[in-house]
Amino acid sequence: MAPTKDGEPPLHILFFPFLLPGHLIPMADMAVLFAARGVRCTVLTTPVQASTIRSVVDRANGSSYSSSAAGTPMSISVVPFPDVGLPMAAQSGRDLATSRDYHDRFLQTVELLREPFCRFLSDHHADIDAVVSDSLFHWSAHAAAEHGLPRIAFLATSMFARACTDTVLRSNVFESCSDDHGAVVSLPGLPHRVEQRRSQMMDPAKRPHEWAMFQLIHAADRSSYGELFNSFRVLEPGYAEHYRATQLRRRAWLVGPVALASGSLEDVASRGAVAGALSPDAAVCLRWLDAKQASSVVYVSFGTMTNFSPEQMRELARGLDLSGKNFVWVIAKGSTAASSDPSTPDGFPTANRGYIVRGWAPQVLILNHPAVGGFVTHCGWNSTLEAVSAGVPMVTWPRYADQFYNEKLVVEVLGVGVGVGAEDYASCLETHRVIAGEAIAESIRRVMGEEGDGAAMRKEAKELGVMARGAVEKGGSSYDDVGQLMEELIARRSSVGCT
Ligand code: UDP
């Protein structure tokens, strides 16, 4: 596709990610994807975040597709990390689950980045066609509008979760529902029948501040030009139509899985690693996997924002032991888990059956390793999509935010996972009801076993993986959605130029 009329400069999109890895990584991948289609992309971010995505950007610029012929390099514009008193080591946002102080200070950056963002827009707006902003920066809707720029929102979640949250915010779903622990809330007007336990939802009565923030975010996104999703059409059956036509009448583009479009697996795995380099530990882990039989290992990781109590860690260790499966278990540095020793339960880890990664794991490489046959996940959307892309079925263990909705999509709509039985919405700093080792082992055996529905789930997961790759290839639905958005922005440029 020719991006612009002859002689016109290419489209220029400003990407403005929130600073947490789960938001930063997919937005950087998304920028790479647009650069590959001839769009000039600038990522506006802070120093530690810039160093995390630098290797991805350099590789994109060095590769034949983004720079040379089209003359459309990617660049990073760096603004200082807001002065909230966070030590450099905590500025990556990977230790937030371990300290309320870090967590609260980090969240202050949402508001404090307003000033540098507005200054950047004042200086450069004439040279920019659109802003892709993280939804958390709700104020960027107003700032972009002031300069006549279309703001496109990105919340790093599924369209399914987004549609569920939208329904909850617009309909009074809690009014007719008791607040008993087991009470079930029905979400009306969605393409699927969706019912959720009240205890698994963000409850306005219990979390008024978070609720108010969500209302602000959704209002800003509704007033924006449109929304981008790191997803693909067949993964969320009926939701693109729901979004665009039937219910919400909003512009939306599904352009993912963005990680699949951004280079080799090695490239993808190294983004997010500090300084863009895989640690020697990561290589050892991959060699360990090389020695295992196909589909014999369960990968256990809960993203960057989940912390478990020592009691839950012991049950998880017991569950892995009882499952009888090989495992790779990622324990984030600085987490409660890292300070409590998971080898304490009797007989754990069983010799040669388990590998523990302390720190940052090359998740995408692990999920795509032939030895991996299942993934115990918190259902963060990036992890979910990475499992889908790799064709790996999941044991779902959601905690908060969009995770319970993502679980519903995985288990009930797509049939590629088994829930471990998480029932309570509990943010990264809160404790939740402990899940017993037996329940964990049972879910792992169901997903990875030969009996029951495991085989069907694995087949379905493999087929979804093939469809994910097809979506980002030329002629695929996500490839087409990228082209569609570019065409709309070019048309808009012409119409704005004419007025
Ligand atoms: N990730 C990784 N290695 C780790 C931990 C996380 O590569 O050791 C990546 C993971 O592949 C995903 C992102 O970090 O891309 C986590 O995003 P997700 O939405 O799954 O969870 P969050 O951390 O935002 O809760």
DSSP string of 24-51?
HHHHHHHHHHHHHTT-EEEEEE-HHHHH
Cβ–ligand 1 contact at 25 (below 6 Å): yes
- What's the rounded Cα separation, in Å, for the pair 314 and 378? 17
Closest Cα partner for 241 from 190, 301, 292, 284? Answer: 190
Give the model's pLDDT for residue 191: 92
Q: Left if phi > 0, otherwise alpha if psi is -120 to 50, otherwise beta: which for 36? A: alpha
3-class secondary structure, 80: coil
Tally DSSP H helices, then E strands, for the chain. 18, 15
Q: Is residue 237 very low, low, confident or very high in pLDDT (cuts 50, 70, 90)? A: confident
Q: At what angle do helices 477-498 and 21-36 cross, to 10 degrees?
A: 80
Q: Residue range 357-366: average pLDDT?
A: 88
Give the model's pLDDT for residue 358: 83
- What's the rounded Cα separation, in Å, for the pair 212 and 200? 18
The CA 301 to ligand 1 mean position distance, Å, reads: 8
Assigned CATH class of 12-260+473-497: alpha beta
Q: Residue range 167-180: average pLDDT?
A: 83
pLDDT at 30 over 90: yes
The CA 383 to ligand 1 mean position distance, Å, reads: 6
Q: Is residue 8 very low, low, confident or very high in pLDDT (cuts 50, 70, 90)? A: confident
Bridge-based pairing of strands 194-197 and 184-187 is antiparallel
Cβ–ligand 1 contact at 276 (below 6 Å): no
Q: Relative to the CA of 26, which ligand 1 atom is closest?
A: 15
Bridge-based pairing of strands 394-396 and 372-377 is parallel
Lowest mean pLDDT among 164-178, 187-201, 361-375: 164-178
More confident residue, 246 or 459: 459
Residue type for 352, please? N
Closest Cα partner for 127 from 68, 178, 75, 163? Answer: 75
CB 137 within 8 A of CB 113: yes
Q: Do 12-260+473-497 and 277-469 share a fold?
A: yes
The CA 447 to ligand 1 mean position distance, Å, reads: 21
Share of the chain above pLDDT 90, in %: 64
H or E, element range at 331 = strand 326-331
Atom 7 of ligand 1, residue of closest alpha carbon: 363
Give the model's pLDDT for residue 56: 84
pLDDT at 375 over 70: yes
Residue type for 90, please? A
The pLDDT tens digits of the residues spanning 114-154 come to 999 999 999 999 999 999 999 999 999 999 999 999 999 99
CB 60 within 8 A of CB 32: yes
- Torsions phi, psi of 407, nearest 5? -60, -45
Q: Is residue 108 very low, low, confident or very high in pLDDT (cuts 50, 70, 90)? A: very high
Give the model's pLDDT for residue 1: 39
Q: Residue range 171-197: average pLDDT?
A: 86
Give the model's pLDDT for residue 485: 97
Q: Over the range 268-280, which residues count as b (16 or more CB within 10 Å of their CB) and which as e?
A: bbbbbbeebebee
Give the model's pLDDT for residue 7: 72
The pLDDT tens digits of the residues spanning 270-299 come to 666 655 556 677 888 999 999 999 999 999
Pick the CATH number of 277-469 from 1.10.10.60, 3.40.1390.10, 3.40.50.970, 3.40.50.2000: 3.40.50.2000
Length of the chain: 499
Beta carbons within 10 angstroms of residue 197's beta carbon: 17
Cβ–ligand 1 contact at 133 (below 6 Å): no
Give the model's pLDDT for residue 20: 93
Give the model's pLDDT for residue 190: 92
What is the rounded average pLDDT for all residues in the chain?
88
The pLDDT tens digits of the residues spanning 308-322 come to 888 999 999 999 999
Spell out the domain ranges in the chain: 12-260+473-497, 277-469
More confident residue, 489 or 6: 489
- Got the DSSP string for 335-362? SHHHHS-TT-STT-SPTTTEEEEES---
pLDDT at 65 over 70: no
Cβ–ligand 1 contact at 330 (below 6 Å): yes
pLDDT at 343 over 90: no
Share of the chain above pLDDT 70, in %: 89
Beta carbons within 10 angstroms of residue 25's beta carbon: 25
Give the model's pLDDT for residue 398: 96
- What's the rounded Cα separation, in Å, for the pair 74 and 134? 18
Residues with active-site annotation: 23, 134
Give the model's pLDDT for residue 309: 87
The CA 132 to ligand 1 mean position distance, Å, reads: 21
Cβ–ligand 1 contact at 305 (below 6 Å): yes
Lowest mean pLDDT among 217-221, 278-282, 447-451: 278-282
Cβ–ligand 1 contact at 361 (below 6 Å): yes
The CA 21 to ligand 1 mean position distance, Å, reads: 7
Q: Which of 363, 365, 378 to mutate to test the pocket of ligand 1 (most atoms within 8 A of CB)?
A: 363
CB 427 within 8 A of CB 399: yes
Instruction: Give the pTM.
Output: 0.92
pLDDT at 162 over 60: yes
